[in-house]
């Protein structure tokens, strides 16, 4: 059965890294939920906005897949750009919709972890004072509703580029939110913190760039697999940028079908490429 992971939070969980800045990840053992069903993953995974792009979930899944070569991983995209913690309160639509998507996923998968990244929209006006209590209510309700009391919850910190330029200018209280996220991860059971130290942003000053998202996903995977907090950048995290590998027959067919369907190659070129793929 597919091992699945919930993606919850705001834009940096949805992903805004520019697709052209990193190599794509094609791996037939990584799926994403679409219309309640599993499809092979291609980024963007979490299409909440037309600017959705690279998120940490893809390199998380790729690292997980490399560590579990006989298994299939599924990603359940529920993140929503610009959402505050109040937008995620259990009675609200985002939370209820995430429950609904999770329940569709659970028909054909076992949810094994929760990936959370949120806080930019709470990094001002002293919202950090109520952050811990609100996050506790959200996560305990989520675990209870889905009967996921003991699976790991991985929560990432906010980037040090915040509070300075562009759309990130207003998020001046991100250090206080980071304190609350760390406190939450240290005090709550089955929860692990992942630092955003060293990650860099797009020109908008708020969104983690593509290469940094790859590294962030690698950190999330290390937190998940070692069940520990990741408080410093990891020595091996650059390897998340190197996704080159020999593609399986299914992956090659998928890639050539994308090329044709997106108009990059003609049908004659597609046929020629497929003939090569199908060679015994």
Residue 142 burial class via C-beta count within 10 angstroms: exposed 0-12, middle 13-18, buried 19 and up: buried
202 CB-near residues (< 8 Å, 6+ apart): 16, 17, 18, 208, 209
At its nearest, how many Å lie between its own copies and the CB of residue 21?
9
Q: Does 260 contact its own copies by CB under 8 A?
A: yes
Stretch that binds its own copies, among 36-44, 61-69, 117-125, 154-162 (CB under 8 A): 36-44
Q: How far is the CB of 247 from its own copies (least distance, A)?
A: 16
Question: Counting beta carbons within 10 angstroms of the beta carbon of residue 74, is it exposed (0 to 12), middle (13 to 18) or buried (19 or more)?
Answer: buried
- Report the relative pairing of strands 2-9 and 73-77 from DSSP bridges: parallel
Whether the Cβ atoms of residue 99 and residue 29 lie closer than 8 Å to each other: no
Residue 36 contacts its own copies per CB under 8 A: yes
The answer to whether 4 and 115 are in contact (CB under 8 A) is no
> Cis omega (within 30 of 0) on the bond before 226?
no
- Does 167 contact its own copies by CB under 8 A? yes
- Site membership for its own copies, residue 275 (CB under 8 A): no
Q: Quick check: 29 binds its own copies (CB under 8 A)?
A: no
Cβ closest to its own copies, residue 79 vs residue 185: 79
| Positions 123 through 152 that interact with its own copies (CB under 8 A) | none
Residue (107 or 276) nearer to its own copies, CB: 107
Residue 29 CB, shortest distance to its own copies, in Å, is 17
Residue 106 found at the interface with its own copies (CB under 8 A): no
**Cβ atoms within 10 Å of 261's Cβ, excluding its own:** 10
Strand partners for 117: 9
Residues 197-236, one symbol each (x = binds its own copies by CB under 8 A, - = not), give -----xxxx-x-----------------------------
Q: Tokens representing 150?
A: 């003991």
Question: Is the separation of the CB atoms in 128 and 176 below 8 Å?
Answer: yes
- Tokens encoding 157: 């910190």
Instruction: Report 74-103 residues binding its own copies (CB under 8 A).
Output: 78, 80, 93-94, 96-98, 100
Shortest CB 39 distance to its own copies, Å:
7
Contact set with its own copies (CB under 8 A): 16, 18, 34-37, 39, 42-44, 47-51, 78, 80, 93-94, 96-98, 100, 104, 107, 165-167, 202-205, 207, 258, 260-263, 266-267, 270
């Amino acid at each position: 059965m597919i091992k699945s992971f919930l993606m919850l939070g705001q834009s940096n969980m949805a992903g805004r890294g520019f697709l052209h800045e990193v190599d794509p990840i094609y791996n037939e053992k990584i799926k994403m939920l679409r219309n309640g069903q599993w499809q092979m993953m291609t980024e963007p995974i979490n299409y909440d906005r037309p600017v959705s792009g690279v998120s940490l979930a893809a390199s998380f899944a790729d690292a997980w897949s490399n560590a579990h070569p006989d298994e299939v991983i599924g990603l359940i995209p529920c993140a929503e750009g610009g959402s505050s913690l109040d937008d995620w309160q259990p009675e609200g639509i985002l939370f209820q919709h995430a429950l609904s998507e999770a329940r569709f996923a659970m028909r054909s998968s076992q949810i094994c972890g929760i990936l959370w990244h949120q806080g930019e929209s709470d990094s001002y006006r002293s919202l950090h004072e109520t952050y811990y209590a609100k996050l506790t209510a959200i996560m305990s309700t989520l675990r209870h509703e889905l009967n996921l009391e003991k699976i790991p919850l991985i929560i990432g910190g906010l980037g040090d580029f915040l509070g300075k330029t562009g759309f990130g200018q207003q998020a001046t209280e991100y250090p206080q939110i980071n304190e609350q996220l760390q406190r939450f991860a240290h005090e709550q059971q089955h929860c692990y913190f992942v630092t955003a130290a060293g990650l860099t942003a797009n020109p908008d000053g708020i969104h983690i760039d593509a290469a940094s998202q790859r590294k962030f996903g690698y950190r999330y995977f290390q937190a998940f697999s070692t069940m520990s907090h990741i408080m410093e950048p990891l020595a091996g995290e650059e390897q998340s940028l190197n996704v080159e590998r020999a593609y399986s027959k299914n992956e090659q067919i998928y890639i050539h079908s994308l090329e044709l369907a997106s108009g990059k190659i003609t049908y004659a070129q597609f046929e020629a490429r497929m003939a090569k793929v199908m060679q015994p």
